[in-house]
Structure 1
């Protein structure tokens, strides 16, 4: 399964490292049965027992933190196994009945730099001793030697976006971890819905940029942790670009800026295009776009009224419905 966590775990790790704290990385490398977090799920843990992320949804995090603290003290690499049995308590096992293997390693400067490097890439880890290499294209960099077969397998892993275990590493098992560029969400209109949507989208792995030339709307106080572009949408979207990992959501409810952005989006590779407005508003929008020369297929790409039909009325509810629809599109369900 492709994991969409964005860069927030690395951001926390970097901040802790700057503060002089040791940091450990915990990664789910294998699951059996019912497990709340799929292969590739991660946590970062600092030397004061602070942590971010999840490897089980809450069942084993306390144990993972405890073992990570030991790993930070010893510098040791470890594969820990957690499961459920009659003898195991909820504090140390998966209450859902599954089992999971978690890789624990010290997140030192070299590994942090490798994970923060250009993407896409694949990290290959020898599960016997923790040696790793990062493959970008045909090049590999790290202490683990990578032969042609390993590089070819890394390319396959990258094409699926799914972490996995495979043979290699001189006869031992290797863990292949895809390092993907984050999905992006361009939100046109620094309105109340955008204030709620932006942080939620960031939590599920989107790098969010809000676009609005209106200075009264696009203030840092209203969007303290979101990238802002204070330009008209036609210029901003052209600069930022629209690719197959980008969603565009038009929320100004103003024909001029919304149409600017939508016109570019429907002729791009963006995986999702949505626009706020009632059915009547969208009918007027469709007429304008037809008159401007857009085809029925292009206009038909616009999700409008935007969001899943959950009866949303408030800005918060609308934001939830939008994010749900975007996630569905990202996962091939819309």
Structure 2
């Protein structure tokens, strides 16, 4: 198909592309609606500048992203809009509408990277050593000790089966993103809490249940229940910040990196495919150092007083 075939209204091609996303790629209605808004904005931009979809070049796409950036759109939205445009032009290439992909090598502007929320060692101690009261509290302590001890994702923790836990050698085997398996060390405190829980687990678990962590009904504990139990435990422990399970994984990474300085080891333990993902914890470590500096350095204290 030649470029002349795309001389009709651009929304026709956009509609066909969105139909393919929904029908063949299985995109959710929410994602398709977001892409529709993104591509409608791109189409309107081209119309304002007298450009057809099949005629647009890299400069046009770059100008569109820049205009949206000036409008104040977030880096996340800009990234999604550019992704929608890229996908549209891949579709047009497949259909023979265009030969050159105008957005292939373009990148959206980077926004400020949000640092993950975490807990300091004192807060972790308050959370984990809060007094247990019954089977569920024993289970919770074992679960949260394990997540913090080994840096588990919530999904890895709730999917853990008995066969994956080896307390004799203080190891746990989990399956993470992409089906990748990791063998991880388990700390002494976590081993003790897990041993206590496994001694009484049979009072809750149904016959044949393989999950390490079970709920009131004796079946595998769900992620939402873990989130609710952690919020409850944080309140009872007197923490004044909302706590969610991923904060325990963040605490594991930041505390380990702060003590060891071994970024590669932390990457392996977390199961990050790319070390750039792990490097965010170096920023957390710097924040801690900056706080220590501001508290302890004479010039820093003086500057703070003068600023007041």
TM-score by length of 2: 0.20
- Structure number with the bigger relative contact order (C-alpha 8 A, sep ≥ 6) is 2
Which protein has the bigger helix share? 2
Which protein has the bigger strand share? 1
TM-score by length of 1: 0.19
Q: Report which of the two structures shows the higher radius of gyration computed on alpha carbons.
A: 2
